[in-house]
A and B are shown apart, each in its own frame.
Chain A
Amino acid sequence: MQWETVIGLEIHTQLNTVSKIFSGAATAYGAEPNRQACAVDLGLPGVLPVLNAAVVEKAVMLGLAIDARIAPRSVFARKNYFYPDLPKGYQISQYELPIVEQGYLDIDLEDGSRKRIGVTRAHLEEDAGKSLHEGFTAMTGIDLNRAGTPLVEIVSEPDMRSAKEAVAYMKKLHALVRYLGISDGNMQEGSFRCDANVSVRPRGRTEFGTRAEIKNLNSFRFVERAINFEVERQIDLIESGGTVVQETRLYDPDRDETRSMRSKEEANDYRYFPDPDLLPVVIHAEDIEAARRRLPELPDAKRERFISAYGLSAYDAGSLTASRELADYFEAVAAGCNAPKLAANWVMGDFSAALNRSEAGLAQSPVSAEALAQLLSRIQDETISGKIAKEVFDAMWSGEGEADAIIEARGLKQITDTAAIDAIIDEVIAANPSQLEQYRSGKDKLFGFFVGQVMKKTRGQANPAQVNERLRARLQGD
């Protein structure tokens, strides 16, 4: 039987506020346990939540960026359950009336086509703390620093049909929240986490199969692997006569498998009700307009602009706009050297390769956009050739200074003086009389030999176009 995979993603994104969603405690990552857990985060008796304005602004920006409806009135509800990392015994979340509804995101598929993925809703909620098991035998330690960190949970429609599509959607969303500057998107630190709802059905059927929810997916790779594993598992199960049960499963990256979390399943009854400590969040038209004015240029628009303004190919424009930092870097280089296509080739080529090798982030790059632009300007004004430029770039990357200084110090300046080139050509011709004779008697291929000899004598610094032109004239005996 032919099977079709159906995937919907729930992505939890930490919003990059300095204080928590309902308290004035800091959100910085990596503090000592419970040093950033104030009375409100600890759920002490009598304390009350007050909503952080920045959280609302960021959610509205997200909503606008995915062309969603911004709810004029949204409501915080309590999700009641007991767990040691949940200090109040309830999580403040949004249930019936989320702040953002009905948006979408377009993803690019491998065959070059685009696909629209619906976003059902995005709602605000507080994060829980962390349970630490290491270092204790019969106990678990609870760190509540993360409790109360603002999250936006973005829930997609079950519109994805393969693990690759799911990853493309997740990457697109990841780039978007970083473009918007609403999240650092740091997946190692848990700022961008994904739960995947996965089901399979016979191709052609319209109703959905029973789904499993896979938790704990904190990298693109894990999402792809976990979904692929889960799809195989479900198909094998059904084909061998079994049925898929609706359950929560945990992905174990070490074993590359998902396994049931039935222990957590026991009779979840969250008893949602509107949080009486918080009032409805009202968003006025002017708030939305203010957020709209703060929106940066979004990835799709930037990509279109790169194509039309710089004459880049769709592929190049797509690669350069995959992250806002890279796009900004490219634009700074292009503006600095006034050669967008050259800049695009270098940023995607040597620059990206060096960055990947060093495993550093763009922010830590030893070659600034201005420095790279200077190097590319030297290619443009024919001070050096493209080949020499690679050598200069490597020297810049290892911290030897700016392009001009390196060119000067290493004497890499291109020879463009016709008389000087002619003199060298004459020397070469004089030193190779037999080759000259063969060339003149019709062995055209030897032209390359003479070019090589001239370049060798100039240590590659002669302008290649000039060498070609002058050499041809000389060899013909002009």
Chain B
Amino acid sequence: MVTLRSPALYVDIGTMSLNSDEVRRIAQLARLAVDDREAEGFAAGLSDIFDFVEALDAAEIGGVEPMAHPLDAEQRLRPDAVTEPDQRELFQAIAPAIDGGLYLVPRVIE
């Protein structure tokens, strides 16, 4: 198979490594349950990807405006009018747990 790492385009500039504690912190932020084995797997896999992504450091970005959208357009505005009917029964037909029109979750302690 062909190798796709062109030296000109993907200069290895240092190795980035993520430990499994960091992985667990990220998983917690993302609300993903990971066990120890998975955490290690992610640590290795993500490190490779971040290594690769570090190619961005080679870019000359001084004075460049970040680009959040492909098109240079402005937000369109919608008239203030009620256009959505009540469809609670339709929407709650696919809900995992409801009672009296409310969505149920395990008790939230405040």
Partner of B75, one of A42, A250, A280: A280
Most buried by A among B29, B82, B86, B105: B82
- CB contacts (< 8 Å) of A315 on chain B: these are none
Which residues of chain A have a CB within 8 Å of any CB of chain B? 17-19, 23-26, 32-40, 42, 44, 50-56, 75-76, 82, 84, 131-133, 135-144, 250, 261, 263-264, 267, 269, 271, 274, 276, 278-282
- Among the 9-residue stretches B7-15, B33-41, B50-58, B87-95, the one with 4 or more Cβ atoms under 8 Å from chain A is B87-95
Partner of B107, one of A32, A38, A136, A282: A136
Find out whether the CB atom of A19 lies under 8 angstroms from the CB atom of B101: no
Any chain A CB within 8 A of the CB of B63?
Answer: no
In the assembly, what is the distance between CA of A279 and CA of B70, in Å?
A: 10
Any chain A CB within 8 A of the CB of B106?
Answer: yes
User: How many A-B pairs with Cβ below 8 Å?
Assistant: 127
In the assembly, what is the distance between CA of A17 and CA of B81, in Å?
A: 8
Apart from the given pairs A38-B87, A84-B108, A280-B74, 18 other A-B contacts in the complex at a CB distance below 8 Å? A18-B82, A19-B80, A25-B82, A34-B92, A35-B101, A51-B77, A53-B79, A55-B80, A133-B107, A139-B106, A139-B107, A140-B105, A140-B106, A142-B105, A250-B110, A264-B110, A267-B25, A281-B75
- CB contacts (< 8 Å) of B107 on chain A: these are 133, 136-140
- CB contacts (< 8 Å) of B103 on chain A: these are 34, 84, 141-142, 144
Main secondary structure of the interface of A (DSSP, over half): loop
Find out whether the CB atom of A34 lies under 8 angstroms from the CB atom of B80: no
- CB contacts (< 8 Å) of A144 on chain B: these are 103
Which residues of chain B have a CB within 8 Å of any CB of chain A? 25, 28-29, 31, 68-69, 73-84, 86-88, 91-92, 97, 99-110
- CB contacts (< 8 Å) of B75 on chain A: these are 51, 76, 278-282
* CB nearest neighbor in B for A216: B110
Q: Which 10 A-B pairs rank lowest in CB-CB distance, beginning with the nearest? A: A141-B102, A24-B83, A54-B80, A38-B84, A53-B77, A282-B74, A33-B101, A142-B103, A279-B75, A24-B84
Find out whether the CB atom of A276 lies under 8 angstroms from the CB atom of B68: yes
Find out whether the CB atom of A274 lies under 8 angstroms from the CB atom of B68: yes
Find out whether the CB atom of B28 lies under 8 angstroms from the CB atom of A267: yes
In the assembly, what is the distance between CA of A144 and CA of B103, in Å?
A: 9
Q: Given that A35-B86, A42-B91 are contacting pairs, would A138 and B77 also be in contact in the complex, using a CB cutoff of 8 Å?
A: no
In the assembly, what is the distance between CA of A19 and CA of B77, in Å?
A: 13
Q: Given that A39-B91, A142-B105 are contacting pairs, would A267 and B68 also be in contact in the complex, using a CB cutoff of 8 Å?
A: no
- CB contacts (< 8 Å) of A264 on chain B: these are 110
In the assembly, what is the distance between CA of A51 and CA of B79, in Å?
A: 9
Find out whether the CB atom of A34 lies under 8 angstroms from the CB atom of B82: no
Find out whether the CB atom of B29 lies under 8 angstroms from the CB atom of A267: yes
In the assembly, what is the distance between CA of A25 and CA of B76, in Å?
A: 18
Find out whether the CB atom of B109 lies under 8 angstroms from the CB atom of A141: no
A-B contact pairs, 27 of them (CB 8 A): A17-B80, A18-B81, A18-B82, A19-B83, A24-B78, A34-B101, A36-B86, A50-B78, A52-B77, A52-B78, A52-B80, A53-B79, A75-B68, A84-B105, A132-B102, A139-B104, A139-B107, A141-B102, A141-B104, A143-B102, A263-B109, A267-B25, A271-B29, A274-B68, A279-B74, A282-B74, A282-B75
Find out whether the CB atom of A279 lies under 8 angstroms from the CB atom of B69: yes
- CB contacts (< 8 Å) of A40 on chain B: these are 84
Q: Given that A51-B75, A267-B28, A279-B73 are contacting pairs, would A18 and B99 also be in contact in the complex, using a CB cutoff of 8 Å?
A: no
Min C-beta distance of A279 to chain B, whole Å: 4
Find out whether the CB atom of B99 lies under 8 angstroms from the CB atom of A136: yes
Most buried by A among B77, B99, B103: B103
* CB nearest neighbor in A for B66: A274
Partner of A281, one of B74, B99, B100: B74
- CB contacts (< 8 Å) of A274 on chain B: these are 68
In the assembly, what is the distance between CA of A293 and CA of B51, in Å?
A: 56
Min C-beta distance of B91 to chain A, whole Å: 6
